[in-house]
Amino acid sequence: MRFTLIKDIKQDKMMKPILSGLLIFILLYLISDIFVKSANFGISIDTLNTTLFGNEDEYIDPITTAVLLEFWHSEIFFSMMILLTLSTIFIRVVNSYKVRLFFLNTLMLAAILSLISLPLAYFLNAFFVHIYLYSFFIWHIAAIYIALHSTFKLYND
Amino acid sequence: MLSGIMIFEHKIGFSVQNIANYYLGDAAQFINAKTYSGVLKTILPHIISFALFSMVLLHFLIFTKHRNKTNIKVLIFVMYMSAFVEIFSPMLILFGYEIFTYFKLLSFGLFMGTVFYTLWLLFRSIMNK
């Protein structure tokens, strides 16, 4: 993470294309993640409830504990990597303290909330599905904005 | 890298026909065609893994005498572009653009080539210090 130490990241001719490439891939990941969740897990209350708790009318079994834990495990890891990388770049390229404070806190809190609410929904109370869904979209939208803003800031002062 | 090459060889195969059979299916070999959602599910973790792997490897070049050279900028571009084509060509194969079977194979080789070249530059730099 050498770019955390470079004095002015925008003036470094090597780091700019490297970070641009990384930000583009992160953007693609965030967008693809929404499509994958839509197809395999659900991005609405009904589909999420069906995935987690099953649907007797449609003869759909609920997700098993092992599969959920595996899914949750990989979500934690990939979310952590995205959050770490995005926030490190964002802090370096955006000068405004208030903008950094607002977006990074929104991103981190929404992401952590979505990760915590998923097992709570499965093991405790189905109400947490609502919290998972809203926090999932908030952190994805915040992350997409941060990635776009950082890419713009890399090439413009 | 080695495990990636071995998995590619074992699951798909290093030929255009094997790649086409893997994604589009082959009734004679009892291979089912891949679905869009299935391919997308496989692609997703690769997007971030390829990106982070490339970024971490490339940014070590800043410590070497190769920083700010034009060929390094070309290397950065080629590594990211080959990763992008390698990751997303399966979707295009499924959409019916079978020419992307060639791109899949070429981009895999190109990405591996750029990674090994970068590693060689880094090790040479370490040895010469």
- Cβ atoms of B63 and A2 closer than 8 Å: yes
Residue A67 lies in a domain: yes
* CB-based burial label for A38 (10 Å; 0-12, 13-18, 19+): middle
Instruction: Considering only CA atoms, give the Rg of chain B.
Output: 17
Residue A7 lies in a domain: no
Tell me whether residues B59 and A14 touch, CB distance under 8 A. Answer: yes
- Cβ atoms of A107 and A83 closer than 8 Å: yes
In chain A, residues with a C-beta closer than 8 Å to the C-beta of B45 are 74, 78
Can you say whether residue A51 is alpha, beta or left, with left for phi > 0 and alpha for psi between -120 and 50 degrees? Answer: alpha
Report pLDDT digits (tens) over A60-119: 999 999 899 889 988 998 999 999 999 999 998 888 999 999 999 999 999 999 999 999
Residue A51 lies in a domain: yes
pLDDT at A115: 95
DSSP single-letter state for residue B85: H
Name the residue facing A18 among B37, B41, B55 (closest C-beta). Answer: B55
Contacts of A157 (CB under 8 A, 6+ apart): A10
Name the residue facing B51 among A14, A25, A33 (closest C-beta). Answer: A25
For residue A147, give its domain range: 14-155
Element (H, E) at B64: none
Q: Across all residues in chain A, what is the average pLDDT? A: 90
Number of domains in chain A: 1
- Cβ atoms of B12 and B79 closer than 8 Å: no
Residue A27 lies in a domain: yes
Please indicate if any CB of chain B lies within 8 Å of the CB of A123.
no
Report pLDDT digits (tens) over B52-96: 999 999 988 888 888 778 888 899 999 999 999 999 999 999 998
Long-range contacts, A107-110 (Cβ 8 Å, 24+): A107/A83, A107/A139, A107/A142, A107/A143, A107/A146, A108/A83, A110/A135, A110/A136, A110/A138, A110/A139, A110/A142
pLDDT at A5: 56
Contacts of A126 (CB under 8 A, 6+ apart): A49, A52, A53
